Structure 1
Amino acid sequence: MQTYINDCLLWQDKRATGMFKSCPEDFVVEEGLDWDFKGQGEHLFLQIEKTNCNTAWVAKQLARFYKVPPRDVGYSGLKDRQAVTKQYFSIRLPGIKPGSYELPEHKEYRVIAHHLHDKKLKRGYHQYNDFTVRLRDVTGDHAVLQQRLAFICQHGCPNFFDSQRFGHNKHNLHRLSAWIKGDIEPRKRDEKGLLLSALRASVFNRQLAERVKKNSWQRVLTGDTVILDGSNSRFQIEKVDEIIRRRAVHKDIHPAGVLVGADSDFVGNSERLAILMRREHLQESYRSFRLNVRQLKWDCQGKDWLIRMRLPTGAYASGVIRQLFRLTGK
């Protein structure tokens, strides 16, 4: 099983080279949660800025601080560890009153805002993420880089799952293969979800790679399922007419690929895989082939390039950067 990441790149040649994530401050993420907080209710919302630590770890620290079960701490999305990120957490505290609670202090994260609300924060509830990414010691043709950034501004780019989904050195895919063969049996629900997510990502990237090869990742074809921009609403295209073409050009709709579930044709070749997916209640869904990159701005600062963008939930800023740069570490 493969990641197909390189096959989802628009340009294989003349990509610039840049140092990526040389320090946490080079990758800044702010979660967009445009809620009107009630100011009362049993859920304490904390907007937290964290540096070089992951979301799940912060959630455990908050559960320990407020002496609640881990299930009573909510967050919308997992944010990068090697980064500076701002995101919300909710903690269920029955009977809490305005001004009657303490705020945690920690060297690796800090509270920058707090509110009371009547609902828990659940996964996928935020609307977008804003990214500020610094590439250091950039080499390459600046004119080509500018042209490609302008292309992404106008047309978007392929919406592939990047390497984070597959684990370090594709560890999640290796574990998944062992699970399918029956060599291992993951016990924890979170790990099962992680491995099945890697499966879905691999199959999706393979579909997307075929569309990139045919230069149809951004075009709507007869028989396609399409997703409305900024929503999960979808419908199937029986015939591509001028209205559909125009909507696709204006990025109002995007062709979509399948995120496989227990009833997908893909799993028919493996009875054990089908059993695993049914047991884990994995439902088929869809993901846009095209990523609409909003508010894309860039600035050359000496040898560095600073790139800002707003992406919908589930999209990878590193995937956008990878379209433009060959990435190096420290």
Structure 2
Amino acid sequence: MSDPGTESIPTCPSDLGLPAPSIIGSIKAQAEDFVVSELPGYETSGQGEFLYLQIRRSNLNTKDVAQKLARAFSMSEAEVGYAGLKDKNAITTQQFSIPLIRIPVSPGPEESLSQLEEDLMKRWPELLEPELELLQVQRHTNGLRRGHLQGNQFSIRIRNLALAAQAQQRKGNDPPVLYSAGDSAGQSSLKKPLKESDGGSGDSIREILETCSSHWLRSGFINLYGTQRFGKEGSTLHQGLAFMDGKKARKWLLDLGVSAVQSYVFNHYLRLRNEKGQLFHLMNGDLAVKANSGGIFKVPVAAEEEARFQSGEICYTGPMFGKKLRSPEGPSLALEQEALSYAGRTEEDFKKMKVPGARRAGLIFLRDLRLEWPGDDSVWMDFTLPAGSYATVAISHMIQLEENSERSL
């Protein structure tokens, strides 16, 4: 494969060839602007040999917290469990698991969970800095592992909102257009660019954002991997390619790098699907996922399932190549092979790395989207995403995020 620069990594809808949104804005001016809380994948049992610690922190990423917990409880970082990686520049509420035998209060088998929580809460300031706030202690039969997560709840403030048309006109460029993901027939559609007389008032921006968000809520958001997946200037992707070519690395670094290569292929699969006019349609041979159960099934004839797709009941899936990947058929399979060829890799390359492989939905649906306007030039966006999807990617469907403001979550 040719050396992929950051410009060759599609991470937002406009990178796929769709028009850019008509609003620009910036995020993460401060940690308080980006609030994320995990939604656990299952209920804890109240019994077992692991403690689940719900911790709130800011300006620390997941591995920072894991390292601090490992030092505080005199254990290896590998013993600290968590369901997903979270970015640094945010206020984050996340669960971590540690073996019960590592805690200093040495509970007996009859000690109640409430007593255990009380003891640990008292000792917490001695063990860790105040920047880690312990919210809750729970007990369970197994430790947390990556993927033990239902989703994430976000509350994000986007500042410095402005009409991109005016900014581009001041620079002498053509104005962008407002777009939606699809009309009633699922086709991509465009609206006329804003006229200069629209002014850029808060009301205009509000109307545009509310209209645009309602379109995407109906048709689904494109489930791209965000920039964080690939590292600064694509560094994690480059490392992954080097690992696949034989460079040695520690396992967690290798896994991170190879997952970036998988994600690179997946994002280009969506780009190719859009080029063929199938981003918002099923294709013959697709493997589709059921929204309510997660079950995956083949779609021999797309027309027979298109109505269910348009209603959001099912969605096509794309490839995360690996040794256990289930393959589609016909035109859908050909498209996946084209994406793989673009990356200069083969299925065997991924199997040799012993990554399992998976199917990933091409579109996702935000839940509980709410817009609140503290002023004309900023908006709070509250919404819930399924595990593995990126908040900044979702926002980029509606707002062009200014350079240097986007660190994906």
* Alpha-carbon distance, 1:214 to partner: 4.0
1:153 is the counterpart of 2:217: yes
What is the aligned counterpart of 1:55 among 41, 62, 66?
Answer: 62
Segment drifting more, 312-321 vs 277-286: 277-286
Partner of 2:263: 201
Partner of 2:369: 296
What is the aligned counterpart of 1:5 among 2, 8, 11?
Answer: 11
Structure-2 change in CA distance of 1:219 and 1:181 (3 Å): same
Partner of 2:226: 162
Matches within 5 A, 1:83-122: 83-94=90-101, 96=107, 97=111, 98=113, 99-100=115-116, 101-103=119-121, 104-105=124-125, 106-122=129-145
Matches within 5 A, 1:164-203: 164-181=228-245, 185-203=247-265
1:313 is the counterpart of 2:387: yes
1:282 is the counterpart of 2:305: no
Give the residue type in structure 1 aligned to 2:389.
Answer: A
* Alpha-carbon distance, 1:17 to partner: 0.9
Structure-2 change in CA distance of 1:118 and 1:284 (3 Å): closer
Segment drifting more, 195-204 vs 185-194: 185-194
* Alpha-carbon distance, 1:180 to partner: 4.4
Partner of 1:250: 311
Give the residue type in structure 2 aligned to 1:151.
Answer: H
The unaligned stretches of length 5 or more in structure 1 are none
| Contact 1:158 1:212 survives alignment (8 Å) | no
For 1:23 and 1:151, how far apart are their aligned partners in 2?
30
For 2:229 and 2:75, how far apart are their aligned partners in 1?
29
Higher radius of gyration, 1 or 2? 2
Segment drifting more, 261-270 vs 279-288: 261-270
Per-residue CA deviations over 1:110-156 (Å, capped at 9, x if unaligned) read 11111122221221112111011100111125232221111122111
Partner of 1:236: 298
Structure whose residues are more often strand by fraction:
1
Partner of 1:78: 85
Normalised TM-score (structure 2) = 0.73
For 1:248 and 1:189, how far apart are their aligned partners in 2?
39
For 1:152 and 1:17, how far apart are their aligned partners in 2?
17
| Contact 1:42 1:92 survives alignment (8 Å) | yes
| Contact 1:134 1:306 survives alignment (8 Å) | yes
* Alpha-carbon distance, 1:65 to partner: 1.4
The unaligned stretches of length 5 or more in structure 2 are 164-203, 326-336
| Contact 1:14 1:144 survives alignment (8 Å) | no
Structure-2 change in CA distance of 1:197 and 1:227 (3 Å): same
For 2:351 and 2:344, how far apart are their aligned partners in 1?
11
Give the residue type in structure 1 aligned to 2:382.
Answer: R
Segment drifting more, 232-241 vs 52-61: 232-241
Aligned to 1:102, the other structure's residue is in SS state helix
| Contact 1:8 1:208 survives alignment (8 Å) | no
Normalised TM-score (structure 1) = 0.89
Structure-2 change in CA distance of 1:163 and 1:271 (3 Å): closer
Q: In angstroms, what is the RMSD of aligned CA positions?
A: 2.6
Aligned to 1:220, the other structure's residue is in SS state coil
Give the residue type in structure 2 aligned to 1:192.
Answer: L
Partner of 1:221: 283
